[in-house]
C-alpha cells in the first residue's frame, strides 16, 4: 500500500461555559458557549485515488459506520462539490475520542476533513469559506477549523477566537453510556441564561489561575444530562470529592471534565477515577486545531 499523502490529528473539545439563551424560530437553540480544544486526538490519513471517495474506520472506541451517515464522508463530498473537483480520495480514520460524549469528536473529524482536503488539493479556500461549509455539517464544526479557545454564538457556529490560550490540566471521565444531543435539548430541563457567563469567562481565563477559572464553569444543559443519566451527577460529585478544583458536564454530556492544579494532579486523579468509568483521560488544553503529522 502506498504511503498516505497527508496525515492529520484533530482534537476533542470541552465547553468551559454553555449557556442556553432560548429557542429559535428554526427549531435550534440560541447559545453562548466557550469552546476549548484539548489534547485528545483522532487521526485521519488521506490517500490519493484516481476517482471515487472511500472511508475506512481503522479503530474506534465503539462501533462506527463508514457509511453516508458519517460526517467525514459528508464533509468530503461537500468539499469536492464546493471546489468543483472530482472526488479522488481514500480516508482512514483512527478514533480515540469517544462517541456521543459531548467532546465533539465527529465534528472535529469533519472539520479536519475540510481542512485536510483543502491543503491536499491546494484549493486555497479561505477560512471564511471553510467555516461556511463547516456550519452546514454541524453547529460546532466551524470551531475545530481553528481550535484553541473561542466564544461560540448563534447555534455555536459563529466563532470568535480568543487569543492567549493558557495551558490548563484536565481529567475527562465518561461512562459507558452515551447521550444523544437532541434528547438533552428536548428534555425540558435546560436552564436558560442571558449570555453573560460565557463572555465573563474571558477575563477569568486571563488570570491563568485554575482556581479562578473553576469559579466560572457553567453548563445550562447539565441538569438535563443528570436527569437522563443520573450516573453523570455521581461522577461529577466523585471528581469534586477527590480534589478537583471544579467539574462540569461537557456539552450535552455525558462526559464530565475536572479542572485541576497541574499535570501531576491530573494523572493522580485519573488513576483514582479509572475504576468508576469506562473512559478516563488526563489531558491539557490546546491553542490549536488540526495538526499535521506527516
Residue among 9, 109, 140, 174 flagged as catalytic: 140
For residue 13, indicate whether it is catalytic. yes
Is residue 263 part of the annotated active site? The answer reads no
Q: Are 32 and 73 within 8 A, CB to CB?
A: no
β-sheet with 279-284: strand ranges across:
246-249, 256-260, 169-174, 279-284
Q: Where are the beta strands (DSSP E) in the chain?
A: 6-23, 29-48, 52-59, 88-94, 149-154, 158-162, 169-174, 218-219, 246-249, 256-260, 279-284, 291-292
Judging by beta carbons within 10 Å of its beta carbon (0-12, 13-18, 19+), is residue 128 exposed, middle or buried? exposed
C-alpha grid cell, residue 178: 452515551
The packing angle between helices 105-120 and 127-137, to 10°, is 140
User: Which is catalytic among the residues 9, 13, 74, 95?
Assistant: 13
210 touches 261 (CB < 8 A): yes
For the annotated catalytic residues, the residue numbers are 13, 140
Amino acid at each position: 500500500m502506498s504511503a498516505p499523502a497527508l496525515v492529520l490529528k484533530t482534537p476533542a473539545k470541552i465547553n468551559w461555559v454553555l449557556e442556553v439563551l432560548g429557542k429559535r424560530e428554526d427549531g435550534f437553540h440560541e447559545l453562548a458557549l466557550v469552546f476549548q480544544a484539548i489534547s485528545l486526538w483522532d487521526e485521519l490519513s488521506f490517500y490519493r485515488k484516481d476517482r471515487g471517495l472511500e472511508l475506512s474506520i481503522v479503530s474506534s472506541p465503539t462501533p462506527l459506520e463508514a457509511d453516508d451517515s458519517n460526517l467525514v464522508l459528508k464533509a468530503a463530498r461537500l468539499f469536492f462539490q464546493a471546489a468543483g473537483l472530482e472526488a479522488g480520495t481514500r480516508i482512514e480514520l483512527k478514533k480515540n475520542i469517544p462517541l456521543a460524549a459531548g467532546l465533539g469528536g465527529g465534528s472535529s473529524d469533519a472539520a479536519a476533513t475540510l481542512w485536510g482536503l483543502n491543503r491536499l488539493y491546494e484549493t486555497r479556500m479561505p477560512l471564511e469559506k471553510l467555516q461556511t461549509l463547516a456550519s452546514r455539517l454541524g453547529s460546532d464544526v466551524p470551531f475545530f477549523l481553528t481550535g484553541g479557545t473561542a466564544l461560540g454564538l448563534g447555534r455555536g457556529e459563529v466563532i470568535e477566537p480568543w487569543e492567549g490560550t493558557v495551558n490548563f490540566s484536565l481529567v475527562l471521565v465518561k461512562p459507558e453510556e452515551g447521550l444523544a444531543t437532541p434528547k438533552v435539548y428536548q428534555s425540558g430541563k435546560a436552564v436558560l441564561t442571558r449570555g453573560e457567563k460565557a463572555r465573563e469567562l474571558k477575563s477569568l481565563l486571563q488570570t491563568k489561575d485554575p482556581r479562578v477559572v473553576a469559579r466560572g464553569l457553567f453548563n445550562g444543559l447539565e441538569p438535563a444530562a443528570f436527569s437522563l443519566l443520573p450516573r453523570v451527577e455521581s461522577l461529577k460529585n466523585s471528581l469534586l470529592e477527590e480534589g478537583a478544583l471544579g467539574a462540569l458536564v461537557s456539552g450535552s454530556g455525558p462526559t464530565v471534565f475536572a479542572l485541576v492544579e497541574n499535570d501531576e494532579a491530573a494523572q493522580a486523579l485519573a488513576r483514582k477515577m479509572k475504576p468508576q468509568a469506562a473512559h478516563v483521560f488526563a489531558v491539557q488544553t490546546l491553542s490549536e486545531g488540526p495538526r499535521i503529522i506527516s
